Amino acid sequence: MADSAPSPKAILRGHKAQVHSATFIRGNTRLVTGDAEGYVVIWDLTIMRPRAVWRAHESAILGVQGWGNDKIISHGRDHKLIVWKLGPDDEDNLSKTLPVEDVPEPRPQPWVLHLLEVNTMNFCSFAVSSSSPGHMDDSSEILIAVPNTIASEAIDIYSLPTQTRIHTIRPGDKNGMAMCLSLFHLQDAVTLIAAFENGYASVHRLDPDGEWITTYRSQAHSQPILSLDVDPEHSFFLSSSADSLIAKHPIPTSRQETIHIPQSNARVVEIIDEEPDQPPSLLSAGLRQASSQGGHAAPRVLKEWSDPLKVVNTKHSGQQSLKMRSDGRIFATAGWDSKVRVYSAKTMKELAVLKWHQVGCYAVAFSDLTASSDLANPASSTISDASHLEPQQKPIYSETSTTALTPRGAGALIKSTTSVKDRRIAQAKTTHWVAAGAKDGKVSLWDIY
């Protein structure tokens, strides 16, 4: 890695304030970013230029996400969650002037479809899911999870487009504020994952009787949890915190007091190289105490409803915006130390460190590999260590050139096209983008593997 340090393929400059959120939409042809002053920018990745810029909120953006091809959901610290109508044709009616440039008149806004008054005192972004099992791309009804308006440790679930609150989940009044959420369907049941200020993470499942059952609750972190993400197959979820730990948790569908697992097959929590100047997590302290009492460190059968699958000390505190790629093989974090780190989801080993920004990174996003499956076949080999990294390619874009080059993976499709526009669209859809937003207001785009 030292001999071939990765470099970004493009730098998107335009935000005046730190970038807090990023997401890919429309088959990876657009990147949506939100900053600390409430501005949202939609970048056209075929030309690396803004297509729509407006101030969505009066305060910092907590999260943005696409809903189908013509809707954008934004969540701001002004206590508002807004669904905007913004299809490809609507972009022509909006400003393309970036937030760093002053304009004499306010920029026009897209049409507001829905507006929810929500609690944003605890910096927790929303979670969204379709109302029924399946993808939410074409869903006419979705579910939105946000912290409760009065009790910041409780979670409300709203239904759109009716804008009615249909559930309130109360995981406990000793967890502190809710810090991050995830909402999805597992075995035809709505499932909510919540992480809290005291380092706890819990899984809640809606049973057929309409009651919420807690199927998992564990404190793997000693500091507030900053982010979490769920495996695409919904078999586990990952959490990162203000401490240096990354934890892999199960997603049980029922609470079982004992799990009968043979000793040879027992799951073992792994604590690696804990820093001496940092207090140990509650989980590692308990494991060490149990080992000392037994005379030697022996595998023990873990309880599925209270023990994580694995906990790794990365020795890097303050990793947030943890995101898994759509194939479930790798995940990335944005670090307060300005670095984006890429890990193997299977082994949880560090694969790459993406270093360009000089200040802290706050947001990470992966392009959706399934969205480009019809155009090109992504690499099928499992990435498990740094030896799988491919040689760096030349930048596809610079400040002085916008020449479209053929990226890895585009295959015969790009070769067969004759239009420059077609080549750029195919390139944007098939590139394995990693986007990182930082305190400097810049967004770096990477394509490593």
Inside any domain, residue 369: yes
Percentage helix, strand, coil for the chain under 3-state DSSP, each rounded to 5: 10, 40, 50
User: Does 304 share its domain with 179?
Assistant: yes
pLDDT band per the 50, 70, 90 thresholds, residue 75: very high
Phi, psi of 268 (to 5 degrees): -125, 130
Residue 87 is assigned to a structural domain of this protein: yes
| 33 and 85 housed in the same domain | yes
Residue 273 and residue 146 share a domain:
yes
Cα separation, 333 vs 364, whole angstroms: 7
Phi and psi at residue 259, in whole multiples of 5°?
-115, 115
Same domain, 173 and 82: no
99 and 130: one domain? no
Q: Are residues 303 and 222 in the same domain?
A: yes
What is the C-alpha separation between 79 and 373, in angstroms, rounded?
38
Task: Indicate if 152 and 260 belong to the same structural domain.
Answer: yes
- Considering the domain boundaries, does residue 331 fall inside one? no
- CATH number of the domain bearing residue 280: 2.40.128.630
Query: What pLDDT, on the 0 to 100 scale, is given for residue 304?
Result: 64
**Same-domain pairing of 167 and 207:** yes
Residue 326 lies in a domain: no
Residue 88, SS3 per DSSP: helix
- Last residue within a domain, chosen from 313, 329, 344: 313
Residue found by looking up tokens 């002004």 in the block: 78
Residue range 377-387, pLDDT digits in tens: 444 333 333 33
Q: How many domains does the chain have?
A: 2
In a domain, 391, yes or no: no
Locate 144 and state its tokens: 């939105």
In this prediction, residue 253 carries a pLDDT of 87
In a domain, 366, yes or no: yes
pLDDT, position 135: 74
**Could you tell me if 167 and 181 lie in one domain?**
yes
Flag whether 352 is in a domain: no
Is residue 344 assigned to a domain?
no
Per-residue three-class SS string for 43-54: EECCCCEEEEEE
Alpha-carbon separation of residue 181 from 23, 154, 165, 168, 266 (angstroms): 16, 11, 17, 14, 29
Residue 68 shares a structural domain with residue 176: no
Q: Are residues 264 and 154 in the same domain?
A: yes
Shortest CA distance to 353 belongs to which of 4, 3, 6, 12? 6
In the chain, count H helices and then E strands: 3, 28
More confident of the two residues 406 and 90: 90
178-186 sheet: strands from edge to edge? 178-186, 189-196, 200-206, 212-219
Looking at 275, 296, 313, which one is the last position of a domain?
Answer: 313
The two three-digit tokens of residue 177, written as one number: 């504020």
The pLDDT tens digits for 327-355 are 999 999 999 999 999 999 999 999 999 99
Structure confidence at residue 279 as a pLDDT band (50, 70, 90): low
Do residue 58 and residue 29 come from a single domain? yes
Beta-carbon contacts of 306 under 8 Å, excluding residues fewer than 6 positions away, are 216, 217, 218
Domain range holding 71? 7-121+361-373+406-449
